[in-house]
Amino acid sequence: MGRLFGTDGVRGVANAELTPELAFKLGKSGAHVLSKDKEKPVVLIGKDTRLSGDMLEDALSAGILAVGGNVIKVGVLPTPAIAYLVRAYKADAGVVISASHNPFEYNGIKFFNGDGFKLDDEIEDEIEDIILRDIDVNSHITGDKLGRCLEADDDAIDRYAEFLKSTLDVDIKGRKLVLDCANGAAYKVAEKVYSELGADITVIGNEPNGVNINDACGSTHPEKLQEEVVRQGAFLGLAYDGDADRLIAVDEKGRIIDGDKLICICAQMMKNRGELPGDLVTATVMSNIGFHKYVEGMGCKVEVTSVGDRYVLESMLKTGCNIGGEQSGHIIFRNHTTTGDGILSSLQLLQAVILSGKLPSELSDEIEIFPQVLKNARVKNENKGKFREDPEVEAAIAAAEKDLEGEGRVLIRPSGTEPLVRVMLEGQDVEKITEIAEKIAVLLTKKFG
């Protein structure tokens, strides 16, 4: 068995890679590591709408109960709801059963600590070590030392919805919106929040059947949302992914507003409202050069991190930054919560648009996103990092950067999961950057493949 934890928890094909046996072990070791000082740790569990969620929830719960932990099952709710509710319920840990934007046959298990933050690498390593070394952390306790399932003391969905509504400072009554819930975890709460705020909403992707999560819908497939926004003459379209921690928007013309643009629009609002400490915005190395130019044009600075929302948050906590995220639409509003939240992001976007007095398309058009080309160089796994020290590759990169003359960008990075080196170029001339990217990719494959 290789490393269990990836960039966002443990994932795999349900009942093949992510089995009930593994979920049971994750429950035991996770509860043990996260609650060492508690005789009866309380663990909150939520899930998305996948068919395999029930199986994994029961196995995970059994593992927690076996080490004397108590479990509160809150059912189908977004990942960020668990991050919020673990604090609201004063639980010792939270677990989400979801594979986010992946197809239904996959599932995942990710942990939050008692403060609502995803786990540090060191804690994940400790949980993983217990499982891989087959350490029995409970020594088969019996009798009244076993855990039990507790009832939530009130309706979790209501509590989370009230929190979301509290983050909005403008009136959205009568605003015509279309929501795409990806047949996933947001299918009840998103409609509830916007209905209670008085918006005029049409909801699609809100009929989950266990196998249709992310299927031609949601933030990774916004085509139906684009059509519906135009057909309805809506003000804005809002698409979430399977576990609702991401947002992709659609303007009134049916055009996509990606994560880079969403961050820019919301950061400008926050700067105007004095909510941007140090005039700082956080993004990953994959953010478009147009994003950087817009943020710098606001008089702000971009703090750049590695790819992955955990690294974005880690940087934000160090610098005090209040907004950061990724092109994918995973955006963290640190003044409101501890993780990406698609519904919260959509409320902040709507607020930013209304306060600007402009149409969504007008705000979107103020941000020039440069064309981006991505080519994969197939290399041997052991050679993925060697390009950094190769003079010929260094020279090719330097030549490409000189050729783009500050109006483009070259980014080369090894894949974290495949035997590939990814070659990404941005610039205004698509043919030119495609040709350069292909040449560098061929060179990398030739030398390291």
Q: How many CB atoms lie within 10 A of CB 118?
A: 23
Side-chain half-sphere exposure of 376, counting CA atoms within 13 A = 9
- Give the angle subtended at the CA of 47 by the CAs of 45 and 49, to the nearest 5°: 160
Q: Which of 35, 100, 315, 346 is catalytic?
A: 100
Which class for 121: exposed (0-12), middle (13-18), buried (19 or more C-beta within 10 A)? exposed
Over the chain, what HEC string results? CCCCEECCEEEEEECCCECHHHHHHHHHHHHHHHCCCCCCCEEEEEECCCCCHHHHHHHHHHHHHHCCCEEEEEEECCHHHHHHHHHHCCCCEEEEECCCCCCCCEEEEEEEECCCCECCHHHHHHHHHHHHCCCCCCCCCCHHHCCCEECCCCCHHHHHHHHHHHCCCCCCCCCEEEEECCCCCCCCHHHHHHHHCCCEEEEECCCCCCCCCCCCCCCCCCHHHHHHHHHHCCCEEEEECCCCCCEEEECCCCCEECHHHHHHHHHHHHHHCCCCHHHEEEEECCCCHHHHHHHHHCCCEEEEECCCHHHHHHHHHHHCCCEEECCCCCEEECCCCCCCCHHHHHHHHHHHHHHHCCCHHHHHHCCCCCCEEEEEEECCHHHCCHHHHCHHHHHHHHHHHHHHCCCEEEEEEECCCCCEEEEEEEECCHHHHHHHHHHHHHHHHHHHC
Active site residue 100: yes
H/E/C letters for each residue in 85-138? HHHHCCCCEEEEECCCCCCCCEEEEEEEECCCCECCHHHHHHHHHHHHCCCCCC
**Residues marked as catalytic:** 100
